[in-house]
Amino acid sequence: MNCYCLISALMQAWLLQVKLHLLLSVTAFGSIMGNGLQKHIWFDVFFGSVLSFSTNIVFEGLLEIHNQLMDPFGTDSQDFPREMYLANLWRTTHGFILQGENDNVPQVLREMHEVVADLEKSATLKKDK
């Protein structure tokens, strides 16, 4: 069993637990409100409705955060811009290596740069054909 399946199963169990908690808390707050309405205790009615509303807002917000954290590398506007980050990283390291015969650049990086440059040239030649 891979790690992603286990994490997904745990998240689904957590989702079920939160939804069950919301159902039970709304039931409890509804009984507080019903008791307040029968006995004309208006503070209980107000208190139950405010707690019910705020609990739902908070837990549904947490579930939305859960949704966003499950896939941070998607294509939504709030997701991490992975392609832009990698392109900027490549431009920065490419410029650093091409600054001339800088003695601070290790030989391994120069060789890797030459290999990647050759791969890019062959990829552009295949596109042109």
| pLDDT averaged over 10-residue windows placed end to end, the chain, 129 residues | 66 83 87 88 87 88 80 70 78 68 66 77 69
What pLDDT does residue 86 have?
79
Q: Whole-model pTM?
A: 0.49
**Phi, psi angles (nearest 5°) of residue 5:** -65, -40
What pLDDT does residue 126 have?
66
What pLDDT does residue 59 have?
86
What pLDDT does residue 98 have?
65
CB 32 within 8 A of CB 69: no
What pLDDT does residue 127 have?
63
What pLDDT does residue 63 have?
83
Pairwise CA distance, residues 73 & 65, whole Å = 14
Instruction: Give residue limits of the domains in the chain.
Output: 3-70, 82-128
Q: From its phi and psi, is residue 2 left (phi > 0), alpha (psi between -120 and 50) or beta?
A: beta
Count of Cβ atoms closer than 10 Å to residue 26 Cβ: 16
What pLDDT does residue 74 have?
67
Strand ranges, E, within the chain: none
